[in-house]
Amino acid sequence: MNAFQIGRQYLRQLLSLLVLAVLLVGCKAEEPDKGPATASISAYNHTADYIHQFYIDGTWGGNARAYGGGGGFVCCISYPREWRPDLTATVRWSTSASKPNPYTGTTWHEKVVPIEYYDKLGSLNVHFLPNNQVRLLIWNGSAGSKGYRGPDAPEKPAGWPKTLYLEDLK
């Protein structure tokens, strides 16, 4: 390849990158108040059952140990930028017993749940409560943060076995 061909190939690659950059900047220039908002999903499990997996309107949300959650986020779900009274989501989740209770198999649950009032955009916090109750809150922060309208993060009952993680075994 001679210098002219190398220069031409370099110019072609540079122009391709420039076109790509213009397209990406064009996407970023979209008005932020148009269309639905996007939220990451965080689960809080206030029960003695292990939640193997859960879905919000068909979007996978992860899993949650008994009396745990809130530390991880799964992306993403869309929701309206402005709350309205009829706003709901279908929550589907599977559970089984956790230690110290014996394993009894997996059970699936499904429920249409109202999304509670929000006046700011944020993440979707999903609270799994006893008796198969679920609360959905849009909030820019975690459970228990100042102004949070939902329950605090779950706490393990006294005597509940400590969860062992790989780093605990080192």
The total domain count for the chain is 2
Instruction: Give domain status of residue 153, yes or no.
Output: no
Same domain (yes/no): 47, 79: yes
Q: Check the CA dihedral 147-150-154-158 and report its sign.
A: positive
Same domain (yes/no): 126, 92: yes
Q: Running DSSP on this structure, what letter comes out for residue 151?
A: P
pTM equals: 0.74
Give the span between the Cα atoms of 24 and 19, in whole angstroms: 9
Instruction: Give domain status of residue 164, yes or no.
Output: no
* 111 has a pLDDT exceeding 60: yes
Angle at 71 between CA 145 and CA 125, to 5 degrees: 60
Same domain (yes/no): 65, 113: yes
Same domain (yes/no): 41, 24: no
Q: How much is the pLDDT for 118?
A: 96
Average pLDDT, the chain: 80
Same domain (yes/no): 3, 43: no
Q: Identify whether the C-beta of residue 39 lies closer than 8 Å to the C-beta of residue 124.
A: yes
Same domain (yes/no): 43, 123: yes
Instruction: Give domain status of residue 77, yes or no.
Output: yes
Instruction: Give domain status of residue 154, yes or no.
Output: no
Same domain (yes/no): 92, 130: yes
Give the span between the Cα atoms of 151 and 102, in whole angstroms: 28
Does a cis peptide bond (omega within 30 degrees of 0) precede residue 27? no
Given 3-state DSSP classes, what are the helix, strand and coil percentages for the chain, each rounded to the nearest 5? 20, 40, 45
Same domain (yes/no): 26, 41: no
- pLDDT grade for 76, boundaries at 50, 70 and 90: confident
